[in-house]
Chain A
Amino acid sequence: DTGVSQDPRHKITKRGQNVTFRCDPISEHNRLYWYRQTLGQGPEFLTYFQNEAQLEKSRLLSDRFSAERPKGSFSTLEIQRTEQGDSAMYLCASSPSGSQSGGQFFGPGTRLTVL
Chain B
Amino acid sequence: DQQVKQNSPSLSVQEGRISILNCDYTNSMFDYFLWYKKYPAEGPTFLISISSIKDKNEDGRFTVFLNKSAKHLSLHIVPSQPGDSAVYFCAASDVRGANSKLTFGKGITLSVRP
Contact = CB atoms under 8 A, between A and B. Distances in A.
Contact of A103 (B42, B98, B105): B98
A95 B45 contact: no
A104 B102 contact: yes
B69 interface: no
Interface residues of B, number: 27
Interface stretch (A12-20, A35-43, A68-76): A35-43
Interface string A76-103: 0000000000000001010111111111
Per DSSP, are chain A's interface residues mostly helix, strand or loop, or mixed? loop
Contacts of B6: 42
Interface string A25-57: 000000101010000111111001000000110
B106 A40 contact: yes
A105 interface: yes
Contacts of A40: 106
Given A40-B106, A41-B106, A103-B49, A97 B99 contact: yes
7 contacts: A42-B89, A43-B104, A91-B44, A100-B99, A103-B36, A108-B41, A108-B43
